[in-house]
A and B are shown apart, each in its own frame.
Chain A
Amino acid sequence: MEVIAIHVLNALLYSSVLFLIAGGLSLIYGVMRILNLAHGNLYAVGAFVSAWAVGLAVSGNAPPGVLFLLLPVGAIAAAIVGAIIERTLLRPFYKRPEEYQLLMTFGLLMILEDLIRLIWGPSPLTVTAVYASVGSIPIGDGRYPGYNVIIIAVGIIAAIFLWGFIYRTRFGVLLRATSQDKRMASALGVNVNRVYLQAFTLGCFMAGLGGAIVVPSQSAVLGMGVDALVLAFIVIVIGGLGSLEGALAGALIVGIVREAGITFFPEIELAVLYLIAAFVLLVRPAGLFGRA
């Protein structure tokens, strides 16, 4: 029984982080029709900045409470980087063919990857202090790291907030209007450029948040962005490009399959995920929740 509970928690843990990354990627695609290949690197930026900020606080003997407050710094940093990228490098490309948009974000991927190496060096950054300060919670006879439960909680809260944001606020209405028909929204007086900037920033904030909350449990390493991006791809392909419900469903599916895969078929775990994605594309090209 405990074993199953722990497997379920682990699956939810993967799903939470994946939802934050893939949800942002999907939001950006849904509104702007840009597939941001550098998205995983913004997740890495979040992780590195948070690890760096918390590391500074730890060496300054800050109490654990302050460390927790410092974690979101990474998300804010990723949002700022995203806003700068959108404003300067992506805006000239909205009228150009998507090959160029993809290439631009691929160039950004290479640049961000090396900027992280340039700033924080090649060795991993760890912040075990935060992870250890939470302790563990008992599950039956076993114990489960309390911090992992926090990650799951953040994932759930983020999903609820995002839902409220998009379906219950004026900003959400503008966002959905732009996503459905950019020209009509523009004709009705929506400042499309501003909506694009906000959507991109929000998407990057989510990726950064994913990185920020994950970094205490696993260290920030080079290449984490590229790895995360490919998983996020699988999530949004399964769920449907541009759909947040899809990102949630996709994240849950990928989380469960990964957890099952690591236990039962570790060799082909990744291959199975890619094949699921390819299969979904074949049967339902727009994904489970996507519009064609």
Chain B
Amino acid sequence: MNATVAAVSPTGLKWRTLAWIVVVAVLLIVAPVVIDPFQTLTLTYGLIAAIGALGFNLLLGYTGLLSFGHSAFFGGGAYTVAFMVKYLKIASMELFLAGSALASAILSVLFGFVCVRYTRIFFGILTLALSQVLWSLAFKFFWVTGGTDGLRVPTPTLLGMSATDDKMAFLAHQYYYYVLGVFGICVFLMWVIVHSPFGKALQAIRDNETRAEFVGIRIRRYRLIAFVISGVFTGVAGALWAPLNGLASPDILVWTFSGEIVFMTVLGGFRTFVGPIVGAIAFTYLKTYAVGFTVYWQLLLGSVLVVLVLMLPTGIMGAVERLTSKIKKSR
């Protein structure tokens, strides 16, 4: 324990952290009023990516497993929505979320059962190979999945309210707040998970597998549970993404999309809780502007990634932390 104990609020959070949460929440709530619809849409994409990255980071940051196959869950969630629209004629977003959570839970139990037997590079390759099975199926069974064209996803009803005529305004307003709500719930849930005894056990496994086993942690089972939670979060993100994008296509199942999820998490910093959130939003803005700015956006993003891993391996949050501690010291 530090000599100077920070003031703690009744919720168990430091007052400073609580103040930050309030400030960010207020900013996110007033955002659509202040910024234009295009910006709001980008922010919505960012929040959705943040949910996915948050789920992904339960594996990378807290369990020490690098998955290169999370596109399977994101795409799985998005395609579940598309299938529910196409075959079940459902339009309710709540049912979409429930369906996608269920589908990605089943998918991640199947994948996880195979993958968590391994760690390190084998885990990465195995998740990649399995996610590519889904991609190739989506790609080849075009009469079910629409092939490369993908499947159209119309705007859903939110809490029973159907979309207004102006689709853009609907997405940039009602849909934004809906996503923000789900995002808030997801952040809260993930916070509870990583600070629970279960979360601590995962970190123990990450830091020293052998010791964790001697303490009595059932490593493989814990890893599997973490894998499933991670998959469900990413699946929910995929479900939110589908109506916003209007299309579920194989691009989000291909393994390079998994690479983007890894990218955003490392960009924000995978050693901290908020890192993936910051990284996902930063990455979304970066990519949106890079794509709009040049056809060579991959070159730009690739260079950012190379510089990032060379100079800033702890990501944005790591850099911020180092900066604040420096300022504190100099005072």
Contact = CB atoms under 8 A, between A and B. Distances in A.
Interface secondary structure of B, over-half rule: helix
B92 interface: no
Interface stretch (A69-77, A107-115, A131-139): A107-115
Contacts, number: 119
Nearest to A266: B140
A114 B255 contact: no
A106 B262 contact: yes
Interface residues of B, number: 43
Contact of A285 (B68, B122, B256, B306): B122
Contacts of A226: 256
Interface in A85-113: 89, 92-93, 96, 98-100, 102-104, 106-111, 113
Contact of B262 (A103, A108, A281): A103
A276 B283 CA distance: 35
Interface in B123-142: 124-126, 128-130, 132-133, 136-137, 139-141
Given A103-B266, A110-B301, A230-B132, A267 B140 contact: yes
Given A106-B259, A117-B296, A271 B130 contact: no
A268 B140 CA distance: 7
Interface stretch (A47-55, A233-241, A247-255): A233-241
B37 interface: no
B302 A270 contact: no
Contacts of A110: 298-299, 301-302, 305
Interface in A253-278: 266-271, 274-275, 277-278
Q: Interface size bucket, A side?
A: 35 or more
Interface string B257-285: 00100110010000000000000000000
B324 interface: no
Interface secondary structure of A, over-half rule: helix
A187 interface: no
A164 to B, nearest CB: 29
B118 A285 contact: yes
B132 A270 contact: yes
Contacts of B256: 109, 226
Given A118-B296, A118-B299, 19 more contacts: A35-B124, A99-B266, A102-B262, A103-B263, A103-B309, A106-B262, A108-B306, A110-B299, A111-B303, A114-B299, A233-B125, A233-B129, A267-B140, A268-B136, A278-B126, A281-B118, A281-B126, A281-B129, A285-B117
11 contacts: A89-B306, A93-B309, A102-B66, A103-B266, A104-B309, A110-B298, A110-B301, A113-B302, A281-B125, A281-B129, A285-B117
Interface of A: 35, 37, 89, 92-93, 96, 98-100, 102-104, 106-111, 113-115, 117-118, 226, 230, 233-234, 237, 241, 266-271, 274-275, 277-278, 281-282, 285
The 4 closest A-B pairs by CB, nearest first: A110-B302, A107-B305, A270-B136, A114-B299
